[in-house]
Amino acid sequence: MFRTQEMEVNMGPQHPSTHGVLRLELRLDGERIVDAWPVIGYLHRGIEKLSESKEFIKITPYTDRMDYVCAMSGNLAYVGAVEKLCGVTVPEKAGYIRVIMVELNRIASHLLWLATHALDIGAMSIFLYAFREREMILDLFEAYCGARLTYNAFRISGVPADLPPGWKEECTGFLKLYRQRHHEYEQILSGNRMWLKRTQGVGYMDADQCLALSVTGPVLRAAGVARDLRKDEPYAVYDQLDFDIPVDDGCDTYARYLVRMAEMLQSARMVEQCLEKMPSEGPLMGMKGRKMRPRKDEEVYFAIEGPRGEQGVYLISDGTDLPYRCKFRNSSFANLQALAPMVRGGLVADVVAVIGTLDIVLGDSDR
């Protein structure tokens, strides 16, 4: 008689597939996973505690450091929350610039996801291609705000600067090129037998489970729920743009791949529309001065659709220009809860695929 014994294996925090410092305590029965216990907090920097001692205007750079792969979304969620709290309106032109930046950053973020996810599973070449295009987006960001990763690109009530001369043409050129390159990625992966074998049926999670576990974003949309805050609760200028929400009901890693790929094209479409519709003249800031005067003892929750899901900021004011409480509801934190149910019963090798498909950023989950 063979007797198997459950074994505990520690994966991470330095494992290359964990995209940062995620540690997983796996309980294995042979190659099968009995249970997984994610351990996070290695990147906890106490941003929420720090925020309580900073003026509203000084917190924006901290939001870059949470989700450093998509810092524009972090900026937008935070400044949006403060604007909501103070009742500040944003000029239309600033709204367009914000959407351009956020959507380009979504493409960059999804490209990074595609590159590393495919690399983890074993497709090397796509990694190099995707980084090539991501680099072009970072160049565009550098031309706009001077930074490549931590942008601090938005201000409360607007944006600090107009697009530099020639930027629009550069961006249009990039988008045209990007569409061709996107087609190349799909040719490399979508019908690839190895890719299908590694992703189809892996990390299954249906819509009910996703909602129960507060999982949002592409993971939820790949379970057949058309939940997208850009459509459901439009912010910035999304209500003036024409775009679709890609949905798939495969519920597995391959479905999430399809959803994210389609999202990148939609983002490109949105950026093109914004460049076209953006007014050439107009104010960029809706408010003069830097002092915030929120009402006393009020609270707001403002959420945007980040590349990983609902990215919310909860603020409590005490009437001063320091927040009394600043809580960041980051999608990586909530989505990471889905990891254990997704890998349970699967193979050890699929853990890598599941971590990739959840598209987590540990700086985002640990704050």
Partner 1 sequence: MPTDDTRPPAGTPPPEEAPAPKAQDPLLAVVPCPALERLQEGLPGRVGEPHFFAGEVTLTVAMEHLLEVCEFLRQDPACCFELLADLTGTDFLGEEKRFRVVYHLASLKHGQRLRLRTQVGEGESLASVTPIWPGADWFEREAYDLLGIRFDGHPRLVRILMPDDWVGHPLRKDYPLPGYPEHHLRYRTADVTRRSYVDISWKVSGERAAAIVKKYKGKSGAPESAPHAPMPADTTNGQKNGS
- Which residues are near partner 1 by CB under 8 A? 40-41, 44, 46, 48-50, 53, 84-85, 87, 211-216, 225, 227, 232-233, 293-296, 298-301, 303, 310, 312, 314, 316, 319, 324-325, 327, 329, 333-334, 336-337, 366-367
Shortest Cβ 163–partner 1 spacing (Å) = 30
Residue nearer to partner 1 on the CB measure, 188 or 207: 207
Handedness of CA 120, 130, 238, 298 (dihedral sign): positive
Residue nearer to partner 1 on the CB measure, 55 or 298: 298
3-class DSSP state for residue 26?
strand
Helix, strand, coil percent values for the chain (each to nearest 5): 50, 15, 35
Q: How far apart are CA 317 and CA 262, in angstroms?
A: 39
What the block records as the tokens of 338 is: 């889905």
Residue nearer to partner 1 on the CB measure, 119 or 292: 292
CB 28 within 8 A of CB 34: yes
Shortest Cβ 86–partner 1 spacing (Å) = 9
What the block records as the tokens of 225 is: 């729920």
Shortest Cβ 198–partner 1 spacing (Å) = 27
Residue nearer to partner 1 on the CB measure, 151 or 328: 328
Residue nearer to partner 1 on the CB measure, 201 or 234: 234
Shortest Cβ 269–partner 1 spacing (Å) = 24
- Residues in CB range of 191: below 8 A, 6 or more apart: none
Residue 131 phi, psi dihedral angles, 5° rounding: -70, -30
CB 367 within 8 A of CB 328: yes
Question: End-to-end alpha-carbon separation of the chain, Å?
Answer: 50
Residue 304 phi, psi dihedral angles, 5° rounding: -125, 170
Residue nearer to partner 1 on the CB measure, 27 or 44: 44
The secondary structure of residue 285, as a DSSP letter, is B
In whole angstroms, how far apart are CA 305 and each of 73, 132, 183, 230? 8, 25, 25, 6
CB 104 within 8 A of CB 97: no
Residue nearer to partner 1 on the CB measure, 63 or 199: 63
The label of the residue with tokens 């459509």 reads 231
Residue nearer to partner 1 on the CB measure, 133 or 305: 305
Strand order in the sheet with 7-11: 7-11, 23-29, 32-39
State which amino acid sits at residue 98.
Answer: R
Shortest Cβ 216–partner 1 spacing (Å) = 7
Shortest Cβ 325–partner 1 spacing (Å) = 4
3-class DSSP state for residue 54?
coil
Residue nearer to partner 1 on the CB measure, 179 or 327: 327
Shortest Cβ 66–partner 1 spacing (Å) = 13
Cis previous bond, 13, omega within 30? yes
Shortest Cβ 296–partner 1 spacing (Å) = 4
Q: What is the DSSP string of 302-315?
A: EEEEETTEEEEEEE
CB 181 within 8 A of CB 335: no
Shortest Cβ 89–partner 1 spacing (Å) = 10
Shortest Cβ 292–partner 1 spacing (Å) = 12
Residue nearer to partner 1 on the CB measure, 35 or 162: 35
